[in-house]
Structure 1
Amino acid sequence: MTQKKTEAISEETESEHNPEPGTELARGYGASPGVATGPARVIKDIDDAGQITEGDVIVTEMTAPDMVPAMQRSTGIITDNGGMTSHAAIVSRELGVPAIVGCGDATEALSDGQRVTLDGEKGTVVIGEPKSESESTLDSESTPERTAETDRTNGSIDDSAEYVPTTATEVKVNVSIPGAAQRAADTNADGVGLLRLEHILLSTGKTPDQYVADHGEEAFVKEISEEIRKVADAFYPRPVRARTLDAPTDELAELEGGESEPIEHNPMLGYRGIRRSLQEPEMVKLELRAFKRLHDMGYDNLEVMFPLPNDAEDVRRARELMDKVGIDRDAYDWGAMIETPASIRSIDEIIDEGVDFVALGTNDIVQFMLAVDRNNAMVADRFDNYHPTILEAMAEVIEACNEHDVDTTITGQSGSDPEMAKFLAEQGISSLSSNIDAVDDVRRVVARAEQELLLNAARDASDDSTLLE
């Protein structure tokens, strides 16, 4: 009896240390769709990212901009921290690499070299290879089959891969990495609604100050202009809206020269965006010189956008910096992000400063209005794009801009959500900017929403005509 009990305990212990293939090891938020299998590479120090080789699955606490080359080599990405708007989520979607974020303890639960499979849609990580066709068939009762009808219901339609509906509401695309520009352009998006300049700058591995100190101002301007040019070329003549630097101090602190960055308890509320640019005008003028250089080269599709203004005064000071650099505001469109409660309340005054467009940055709007840290997995379930106050705020901005003939767009994660796209199209937004993998679905949803609006308008007109008779 004792021997049998000992054997049972031994088998149980062995099972714990050598779990069966298919055993779930970690679970988080599916951030970039797709299934990937490969050896897990647990990265606890950013300096070890260079060890990532083709086909590896990156497992780390949180990705950073200078990890992008490693992310490009990987077959999948898993992080302990972060939500759907984190660096890992944004970049993985752009690269088309399956990813799961906010797992909590993946770096402890997974062993280096362990072969794992991650599902970037379900948010699960399991041991070994993906299920065989026969196993998948057995699961078909619990996993509804994807059909054209369910896709229509879910707002994800694929009636024809060839057909691209024409919409009055433009559907643009977000770009962070110039190397992904052609992939983004191939979606037939109407332009780039957001080109994030910080990913270009941080990929150098140095803070902007350190880069200028090491290589000089001209080299800095050249670096920026050449990277932006890759995107402008891929999309020409479609417009490209590039945003000036908006990197929080904790990301800059990881780079060479980052030891001089201030230590902030909440960098997302700190020294970033236009507030840093206005405090360090000589640095942002170098960024603006890169824009002017491209304008002078004939890139009339390049537009300037300033992040995180609170009010008209911030926008006015940014406009004056453009004037000092010599950017012709009559020839090239420029605008501002609307991301804080104060900027929403100040929208009329911001419009009066002469902006050609405003962009709703929902990632920040939601975190600031709901007091939810967008990179904190502990409160990720409270990051609610559909909270009534968020919807009301966006509708108010769109209405004010439409009254003054100022274009509006949305650039946050919400721009990739078909349901949100429908709501915004109904509000009269000028354009939406989506992730690369969402452009087609968003365009089809917008087309259907516009058709419904036209049909309802025709019915109302018919009813009015009948009443007059």
Structure 2
Amino acid sequence: MSSETETVEDGEPDPGAELTTGYGSSPGVATGPVKIIEDIEEADRIDEGDVIVTEMTAPDMVPAMKRSAGILTDEGGMTSHAAIVSRELGVPAIVGCGDATDVLRDGQRVTLDGQKGTVVAADAEGEAAEEADPGGSRDVEGGGGPPTTATEVKVNVSIPDAAQRAADTGADGVGLLRLEHILLSTSKTPEKYVADHGEEAFVKEISEEIRKVADAFYPRPVRARTLDAPTDELAELEGGEEEPHEHNPMLGYRGIRRSLQEPEMVKLELRAFKRLHDMGYDNVEVMFPLPNDASDVRRARELMDEVGIDRKQHDWGAMIETPASIRAIDEIIDEGIDFVALGTNDIVQFMLAVDRNNAQVADRFDDFHPTILEAMSEVIEACNENGVDTTITGQSGSHPDMAKFLVEKGITSLSSNIDAVDEVRRVVARAERRLQLDEARKNVDDPGPRLG
């Protein structure tokens, strides 16, 4: 009696036999030959249409990821590098498989479903990789174009080369442009890059990459976040041997805490913003990651002043990602910020004590935990009372249920993954209509005092 996993005489799995599973992190279905990458130096082996199979992707692998038909990783969760970048590139991906590098072999043809998280054996004579359609072929609600919403729907961008694809979604701007992916793509740590090429070259490199995004979206705003790369990622780059060894880099020397310890380096990043402002890019805004309190934000503001960024002309803000920053939101607002961004990937990680890159506890990463929802509500309420814009930039901002919840709480905007912009926009429009309807019904039930 045959079964789905029964193999043919030559030892090959039957077409359709399940080979491994993981977390579907970038939707789409693709078929292609496996290329197992054990070291970053092997990334050049990836040809158009290959399926990358690796323990974990790294920033140096982005060019190879662009060429691939699909991506499979042993480790990582829904907020890992592989998950974020693959969604942005529109490449189907599955993360946290655990055993993909062991159970698959070079040249083996597989079909992966980046929505379901399944990998099955493909027919050896099957077709080449299918074109991914991450967003699906759904019609936009109403049939006459995207709905107009009072709550803005923005998009997250990590790779400047994907900026036009992101802009074509019609998003209201970029809620998060991650500078670390720009810096890490140089294959050198920032310190090594400056040592080899000089400060001006470093400033120009950053500004020209941000400019690609600013051009694609102009005049829509682009909020770019200063460096927030954990030390283990920097350690993989040239010059990385100087990076400190940390047992848990996600809790370590990253974000604003590193920037304030190395002010001359972050001032080079800020000079890149100033360069763009001087060129007329008034849509570029500065955002600082991982502050704990008003003191962190104040010192970052002082660094902006030192490089000559005009805060009256250009909006700036801070990520709210730690329990401390949530508790200190009123004091942070008092420092003069124009906006805050709820970084739910880190809010969940720190509040629930769940390492977001650890596949072993990925099932404990709960964006909808009551304490998370309560914390975000408190931040939104405080900001609304003080005229400060709010947005959400984490992975959960792409989830329809989260979008509905945040609209009801009064958030200013949501920033989602590229593939989720249309769906989020529909959910936001529906939630806004529901709020209007509820308000109208309340007025009918309680019309108030009559005149005369």
Tell me the TM-score normalized by structure 2: 0.94
Where 2:56 maps in the other structure, the secondary structure is coil
Where 2:208 maps in the other structure, the secondary structure is helix
Q: Give, in whole Å, the separation in 1 of the partners of 2:124 and 2:17.
A: 11
Equivalent residue number for residue 368 of structure 1: 350
Equivalent residue number for residue 62 of structure 1: 56
1:440 aligned onto 2:434: no
Residue 406 of structure 2: which of 424, 427, 433 is its match? Answer: 424
Does the 8 Å contact 1:58/1:74 carry over to 2? yes
Q: Give, in whole Å, the separation in 1 of the partners of 2:107 and 2:351.
A: 42
Residue 27 of structure 1: which of 21, 24, 30 is its match? Answer: 21
For 1:220, give the aligned amino acid. Answer: F
Equivalent residue number for residue 283 of structure 1: 265
1:220-239 matches, within 5 Å, as 220-239=202-221
1:238-253 matches, within 5 Å, as 238-253=220-235
Q: Give, in whole Å, the separation in 2 of the partners of 1:161 and 1:128.
A: 37
The runs of at least 4 consecutive aligned structure 1 residues that moved more than 3 Å come to: 12-17, 129-132, 156-162, 466-469
Equivalent residue number for residue 126 of structure 1: 120
For 2:331, give the aligned amino acid. Answer: E
1:250-269 matches, within 5 Å, as 250-269=232-251
**Greater helix share, structure number:** 1
For 1:94, give the aligned amino acid. Answer: E
Q: Give, in whole Å, the separation in 2 of the partners of 1:305 and 1:297.
A: 19
1:174-323 matches, within 5 Å, as 174-323=156-305
Q: 1:60 to 1:332 in 2, by over 3 A?
A: same
Q: Give, in whole Å, the separation in 2 of the partners of 1:160 and 1:85.
A: 32
Equivalent residue number for residue 90 of structure 2: 96
The alpha carbon displacement at 1:51 in A equals: 1.0
Q: Give, in whole Å, the separation in 2 of the partners of 1:425 and 1:213.
A: 47
Equivalent residue number for residue 335 of structure 2: 353
Equivalent residue number for residue 140 of structure 1: none
Identity over aligned pairs, percent: 81
Residues 334-390 of structure 1: CA deviation (Å, up to 9, x unaligned)? 000000000000000000000000000000000100000111111111100000000
The alpha carbon displacement at 1:108 in A equals: 0.4
Q: Give, in whole Å, the separation in 1 of the partners of 2:31 and 2:182.
A: 29
Where 1:308 maps in the other structure, the secondary structure is coil
The alpha carbon displacement at 1:54 in A equals: 0.6
Q: Gaps spanning 5+ residues in structure 2: where?
A: 127-135
Q: Give, in whole Å, the separation in 2 of the partners of 1:239 and 1:45.
A: 38
Equivalent residue number for residue 36 of structure 1: 30
The alpha carbon displacement at 1:261 in A equals: 0.4
The alpha carbon displacement at 1:163 in A equals: 1.7
Q: 1:13 to 1:122 in 2, by over 3 A?
A: closer
Does the 8 Å contact 1:37/1:129 carry over to 2? no
Q: Give, in whole Å, the separation in 2 of the partners of 1:329 and 1:15.
A: 70
Residues 91-138 of structure 1: CA deviation (Å, up to 9, x unaligned)? 000000000000001000100111111010110111114999xxxxxx
Q: 1:114 to 1:463 in 2, by over 3 A?
A: same
Supply the RMSD in Å over aligned alpha carbons.
2.0
* The structure with more radius of gyration: 1
Residues 151-189 of structure 1: CA deviation (Å, up to 9, x unaligned)? 9xxxx8744565211100000000000000000000000
Equivalent residue number for residue 112 of structure 1: 106
Q: Give, in whole Å, the separation in 1 of the partners of 2:123 and 2:151.
A: 43
May I ask how many residue pairs the two structures share in their alignment?
439
The alpha carbon displacement at 1:315 in A equals: 0.2
Q: 1:443 to 1:36 in 2, by over 3 A?
A: same
Q: Give, in whole Å, the separation in 1 of the partners of 2:439 and 2:432.
A: 11
